[in-house]
Amino acid sequence: MPTVFLSPSTQEWNPYLGGGNEEQYMNLLADRMEPYLRASGIRYVRNDPDRNVTGAIADSNADSYDVHLALHSNAAPEDLAGRLRGIDVYYSPYSTASERLAVVTANDLSRIYPLPDAVRARPTTTLAEVNRTRAVAILAELGYHDNEQDVAWIRNHLTPIAAALVESLCDYFGIPFVTPVAVVRGVVVTDGSGLNLRSFPSTSAGIITSIPNGADVTVFGSVNGWYVVSYDGMTGYVYGDYVVIG
């Protein structure tokens, strides 16, 4: 299953109008992304909030991730303070995969942002989290925290923004987007044989491992008769007929 390095801003010195700061709200957004990531079968690691951008890049590059996703909000230059709005999703012009992910993300965000034409995918050669990571990387500036309307939109739409970002990741990875449910315990019940944990909800998908009959699994969501489950540190899909919930 795909793995994402989730990197919300560590810039607590960027204040939001009306209280709070960029680090606080981007971490609240990451919190809301977690159930959607788990339900959709995407593994994730979050950055260390006590480390700066250089530390986040080093931690991301120290392991193997499929995507590095940086979450930020923007601020206008001093002479335009409070007057700019919009979302910019930055990608590396040297990576077609980065551009593809940025375009998908911008398209999904444009469906929930009140000014859809102000949501753009933009190339950058200067943002380190986009150009110095081993993983395919994008950086999303999710509105302007010095603009009253954008701040209100972020505060009131954390869950829809989280869902849109995870849906974009699912589109990029080619896996179903699954709405999370209350996490429950399940028990594998077969004729005695193992139950295949697969990388996609299909009997033709690759097998990650075989789960023994009677084993406990954690169920995060369901899609088309399949459950997204975790077993022994691995996440994937199992056919729902062979899992008893509760």
pLDDT in tens, 187-216: 999 999 999 999 999 999 999 999 999 999
Query: Residue ranges per domain, the chain?
Result: 3-173, 184-245
pLDDT in tens, 156-171: 999 999 999 999 999 9
**Helix and strand counts by DSSP (H, E) for the chain:** 6, 13
For 61, 80, 177, 206, the CA distances from 151, given in Å and listed in that order, are 32, 16, 27, 43
Write b or e for each residue in 223-246: b if 16 or more Cβ atoms lie within 10 A of its Cβ, otherwise e: beebbbbbbeeebbbbbbebbeee
SS3 127: coil
Q: How far apart are CA 159 and CA 32, in angstroms?
A: 6
Residue 181: pLDDT band (50, 70, 90) is confident
Q: What is the CATH number of domain 184-245?
A: 2.30.30.40
Residue-averaged pLDDT of the chain? 96
Per CATH, domain 3-173 is 3.65.10.10:
no
pLDDT in tens, 33-70: 999 999 999 999 999 999 999 999 999 999 999 999 99
pTM of the prediction?
Answer: 0.92
Q: How far apart are CA 67 and CA 42, in angstroms?
A: 11
